[in-house]
Structure 1
Amino acid sequence: MKYLFVALCLLCRISLSWAQDSTAVRRDTVIAPTTTDASADDLLAGLSDSTETPELLPHKMLFTQRAFWGPKGLLRTLNVAPLTSEGRIKELKVRRTMLVAHQIGGFVTLAGFVAQGLLGAKLYNAKGQDYVDTKKWHERSATFINITYGTTLVMALTTPPPIVGPKRGFTTIKLHKYLAIVHLTGMVATNILAHMIQNNSELKPYHRAAAYATFGAYAASIIALKF
């Protein structure tokens, strides 16, 4: 009996030691979630960083856009268009309207170029009263084109900037802008030569070449946006 009692005591002690060890393990598993709490804090910190106020203007803008709509542009300085999130939403609507007007003006100007080309071709072979009448319509057509072309150009240069800047690499928008430089140069040259022809008729071939080059670059710039 004595040995049985001693064995039972030893068994109880071993059981208690196992119980203590298992409790220690469970205590460790309770402490472990503290690392999860730290991760949660890091996650919240990341979320707070990701919800910072986004940039309202792109880094790259046309110089005319920056002059009007830049952070220190004329409209910002005069407080006509404060740089706020709500204001930018309104500006994007204005941008869309101006770009639609720009496209309409482009097609109207293109039609004017076609009419001007037909009148110009007729003017080179006209004589007498027919020459006088054709020249009059040719000048009226030129005035019409200058007005529509100028209006269309202003719409493109002064429109509010988009949210993001232009994409990297070659795009049809960039091709449209490059061709715009060509036909703008052609427009200036054509108008200058038109005035110089009055005193020097030998400049007519150069005037016609500048007009055709302007029309070709202008038509190509419109086609570029469709592809």
Structure 2
Amino acid sequence: MKYVCFALILWLGASPLRAQDSTAVRRDTVIAPTTTDTSGNDLLAGLTDSTEKQQLLPHKMLFTQRAFWGPKGLLRVMNVAPLTPEGRIHELKVRRTMLIMHQIGGFVTLAGFVAQGILGAKLYNAKGQDYVDTKVWHERSATFINIAYGTTLALSLTTPPPVVGAKPGFTSIKLHKYLAIVHLTGMIATNILAHMIDNNPDLKPYHRAAAYGTFGAYAASILAIAF
């Protein structure tokens, strides 16, 4: 009986302790959401900071692109194209349109090269009035090619820059650009030699070699991105 009374006393004494512990648990439960909200606010602030620091322009651009579209480019300074996220979205649409026009111009110029090559081959063997007539068409074709080539080149050099820079490693786009340097050099040499032939007919083989080399590099540059 003594042991029963002693156990009853211990049980009654432990009950308040359990009740106190239960209250402590409920107090912790109330405080916990406050801690969670603070973490959420910190996370939201971090996301906001990263959005504000988002890069709008690639680090590497063509010098012509930087002159027009760079952070201190002509269009930025004149406030024609402010550097904002909304503005960059519009610029990327403009870029797409200009690149499509660049591709169309490339094929038109290539067709002009083919016609010019046919007229050039005919001109080398023509005589008399046939030579005069063929030379007139050859010169007209050359003027058309120079205009088409220059327009196509300008569209490529002045497009708004992409979101990110060029991919690392060798790509078809880089091959296209390397070949562009070759056919641009060839175009300049071909035009210079064309104006020198009248006073120095011995330059005809060099003019023809420059023209064929330019056509080959130009055709290869188109194939590099077409397939």
TM-score (norm 2): 0.88
1:66–1:208 distance in 2 versus 1, CA, 3 Å: same
Q: Which residue of 2 aligns with 1:66?
A: 66
Q: Deviations over 1:138-195 (max 9, x none)?
A: 1111111111111111111111112222211111111111110000000000011111
Note closer, same or farther for the CA distance 1:84–1:51 as it changes in structure 2 (3 Å cut): closer
Partner of 1:45: 45
Name the CA shift for 1:7/1:199 in 2 (closer, same or farther; >3 Å). Answer: closer
CA distance in 1, matches of 2:218, 2:40: 58
- Inter-partner Cα distance in structure 2 for 1:57 and 1:181: 25
Q: Where does residue 158 of structure 1 map in the other structure? A: 158
Aligned residue pair count: 227
* Mapping 1:1-227, distance limit 5 Å: 5-20=5-20, 36-37=36-37, 39-52=39-52, 54-227=54-227
Change (3 A) 1:33 1:95: closer
Shift of 1:80: 1.9
Alpha-carbon separation, structure 2, partners of 1:64 and 1:81? 16
- Cα distance in structure 2, aligned partners of 1:7 and 1:82: 84
Secondary structure, in 3 states, of the residue corresponding to 2:163? coil
Deviation at 1:93, TM superposition (A): 2.2
What is the CA–CA distance in structure 1 between the aligned matches of 2:3 and 2:180, rounded to whole Å?
Answer: 108
Comparing 209-218 and 166-175, the one that deviates more: 166-175
* Cα root mean square deviation, aligned: 2.4
For 1:3 and 1:220, locate their aligned partners in 2 and report how far apart those are by CA, in whole Å: 104
Q: Deviations over 1:56-88 (max 9, x none)?
A: 222111111111111111112122222223322
Measured in 2, the distance between the counterparts of 1:160 and 1:185 equals: 24
Residue 48 of structure 1 deviates from its aligned partner by 2.5
Tell me how far apart the structure 1 counterparts of residues 65 and 57 of structure 2 sit (CA, whole Å): 11
Once structures 1 and 2 are overlaid, which stretch shifts more, 39-48 or 138-147? 39-48
After superposition, the Cα gap between the structure-2 partners of 1:51 and 1:126, relative to the gap in structure 1 and judged at 3 Å, is same
Return the alpha-carbon distance in structure 2 between the equivalents of residues 187 and 3 of structure 1: 113
The whole-number CA distance in structure 2 between the counterparts of 1:2 and 1:120 is 127
* Uncovered stretches (5+) of structure 1, i.e. residues with no partner: none
Q: Return 166-175 or 77-86, whichever deviates more.
A: 77-86
Task: Find the aligned partners of 1:19 and 1:87 in 2 and give their Cα distance.
Answer: 64
d(CA) in 2 for partners of 1:13, 1:2: 17
Q: Shift of the alpha carbon at 1:33?
A: 6.2
**Greater CA drift, 35-44 or 160-169:** 35-44
Identical amino acids, percent of aligned pairs: 81
Offset, 1:31: 6.1
